Structure formats: C-alpha cells, structure tokens
Structure 1
Amino acid sequence: MSALEGRAGVALIVDVQNGVVDGVYRRDEVVANIVRLVDVARSQRLPVIWVQHDDDNLLRGSHDWEYVPELAALPAEPVVHKHYGDAFEGTALETILAARSVGHVLVAGAETDACIRSTLHGAFVRGYDVTLVADAHTAGDKIQWGAPPVEAVIAHTNRYWRFQRAQGKQGAVLAASEAVDWLNTVSR
C-alpha cells in the first residue's frame, strides 16, 4: 500500500553495531531474531540494507563501530554510513531503496529510542510502509537520565508504531516469528 507508486518491493534495514548493543536489554535474543530475519530475507532474495552510524562516540573503523560478530553483510548488500539517527538523513538510503523498487521496509536493530525510532519516522514521512519487528530491536538503560526502563521503551514503541497511518502508507509491528512467516510469502 506504500505511497511510493510502482514500488512494491520489500527490504530489511538492519542497524546492529557492537558499541550500541554491548550490554543492552535482551541483546542475544534480539540479535538471534535479526539473524533469522536476515537469513529469510536472503533466501527470498529480498534486499538487506546495513546501516552503520559513526560520530565522536562511535568512531569509524573501531571495534564498537563494527557489526556484531553474529551478522555480516554480503559483498553485494549495501552498507549505508550515517551520522544522524535517521538512516535516511544525509545518506544514499533512499536512492538504494528506489533502485530496488522498495516501498515497504522492515526495521530492526538498536537503539529503540534513538536510531530505530528515527529511521521508522524517516521512512514513514518519505512514503514507505514501515514494519517494526517487535522483538528485534533493543536499547540500553537510560534511567539515570530520566528515561523509563528499557522494557517500557520497547513496549511503548511497539504499541504506538502499530497505529501509525497516513494517506497511502501505514506502520505495522510484527514479532520476529510473524515477520519470518510474512517474508517467506513475499516474492521478489
């Protein structure tokens, strides 16, 4: 149903760097769910787009900047390098998705209350249907700075994203198992 005419394709956007997920809530479960999503997307020959953030706290080329060891981009899979939370902002992501006729993106990774939320909104305002994978995103504990507990941040994000609607586009939330089943029905 995407607002992007002629773009019925589906892609998986993954953002999971070592320094971002080190010590986060349910890290191993989230990464395992993302591994499953990547495997299914690849088996269905759907685009997997990798996102890597760098800034003063996440230096390009450092261990923290690298992807978690459980995940690696294949040589043909695009990697988007970003400097802002929204993976579309100041990057070639829109061009990459347009070249593949993508109008629906699934988003997974970290951090829920920063890069993931920004990319969800960035995709949505650009006309994409956007599915958040409910148990394939996570965040670190920020209670000391006044944030709610991580599990509440995740639950809230899943709850409100489920109801995102606008003319010609919609948000959705699926558990990883549901997303895997759905991806298995999508043909390229």
Structure 2
Amino acid sequence: MSPTPAEALLIIDVQQALFDPPPADAAAVIGHINALAVRFRAAGRPVFLVQHESPQGALRAGTPGWAFAAGLQQAPSDLVIAKTTPDAYLRTPLEAALRERGIRHVAVCGYASEFCVDTTVRRSAALGFEVTLAADAHTTHDKPHASGAQIRAHENATLPDITSFGHPIRALAGASIAL
C-alpha cells in the first residue's frame, strides 16, 4: 500500500478589494476556508496564501485592497505567494515550493470560482497534482448570466468531470477533505 500523498492547501485571492462588496456567501466561505486551514496546519500540512497583485489599482501591492480580507485567519507558518495572472503557477515559485515539500495533492479554495480558482485547479492537474476543490470554500460575485452561487455550483460539477489530465479532480466540502 502506498503512503498517503503529501498535501497542501492553496487559498487563492482572499483579498480585501475582492471582498468589498462581498461575493456570494462571503462570510460562510471565509469560515470554511479558516476551518480547512486550521485542519491543515494541525496536521502539519503547508498552507499557501496566494495573493494577486497588479501594478496599479486596488490590488497594487501594499494597498489596503491588496491585503488579505477581513476575517481570513493567517498563521506565521503560512507561505505567501504573489501572482499577477489567474494562474497561481505562472511566473511564481508555487510549483517549486510544492515539489520541494514533496506535495502530490493540493486542496484549492478562495476567489474567484470561475477565474483564478478554476485556472489554478486545472493547472494543478496539468502539472500532475491530485486536486480537491473545496466545494464550499470558494466564491465569486454575481454576473449578468448567473449568480455567484450558481457559478460555484457549476465549477463544483464540471471540474471533476475533467479526466484528461490523468490525475483526479474532486469537489468535496471542506470538512470532508481527508488529511
């Protein structure tokens, strides 16, 4: 029997500017993210806080909007990764940091379900990681075509159907993610 894959939690773009005004179920989603992060830390698994930054505007590094959202709990052991695209791996040290730690499985949560979360889930699988989307711990704002809750449900239903990467993508409630 092979050992359980080493796991890490990727918290994507839970930042003040992106949560003001709040996206769908913001308080509950942050609560689920915090609970998941507590479990990962307690199990000795790394927690990565991925933070989007732009050269100007509300997500410019160092601005109040760029800071992590109110209510997101952080720990000194958390690793912060800056990114500039929806892909948490593109031009960042994330992949190297995961490989150095022997990570083979990532759990992904955060903002925005259909953009940065979706892209990072797909890229994780493409890089050979097993992926669990924390189904109740990602969110987005309402769009003209669908509510934030509908978009989250769509991502939870469709991402696990992608099998061509050769590594599973699962969507599970945060409390159901086994460590």
Using structure 2 for the length normalisation, give the TM-score: 0.90
Residues 1:133 and 2:134 aligned together: yes
Unaligned runs of 5+ in 1: 1-5, 184-188
Cα distance change, pair 156–61 in 1 and its aligned pair in 2 (3 A): same
Match of 1:43 in 2: 42
Residues 1:157 and 2:155 aligned together: yes
Q: How many angstroms does 1:168 deviate by?
A: 4.0
Match of 2:122 in 1: 121
Residues 1:12 and 2:9 aligned together: yes
How do residues 34-73 of structure 1 correspond to structure 2 at under 5 angstroms?
34-55=33-54, 56-57=56-57, 58-73=59-74
Match of 2:104 in 1: 103
The equivalent position to 1:21 in structure 2, one of 19, 22, 41, is 19
Answer yes or no: is the 8 Å Cα contact 1:7–1:101 preserved in 2: no
**SS of residue in 1 equivalent to 2:132:** strand
What is the rounded CA distance, in whole Å, between the counterparts of 1:132 and 1:90 in structure 2? 22
Answer yes or no: is the 8 Å Cα contact 2:53–2:61 preserved in 1: yes
**Could you give the per-residue CA deviations for residues 119-161 of structure 1, whole angstroms, max 9, x where no partner exists?**
1111111111111011100001221xxx322222111100011
Work out which structure has the larger RCO, using CA pairs closer than 8 Å and 6 or more positions apart in sequence.
1
Report the RMSD for the aligned CA atoms in angstroms. Answer: 1.7
Number of equivalences: 173
The alignment-based identity, stated in percent, is 30
Unaligned runs of 5+ in 2: none
**Could you give the per-residue CA deviations for residues 88-131 of structure 1, whole angstroms, max 9, x where no partner exists?**
01100001000110011000100111110111111111111111
**Could you give the per-residue CA deviations for residues 28-57 of structure 1, whole angstroms, max 9, x where no partner exists?**
000000000010000000010110001133
Quick one: which amino acid aligns to residue 68 of structure 1? A
Answer yes or no: is the 8 Å Cα contact 1:124–1:171 preserved in 2: yes
What is the rounded CA distance, in whole Å, between the counterparts of 2:4 and 2:126 in structure 1? 16
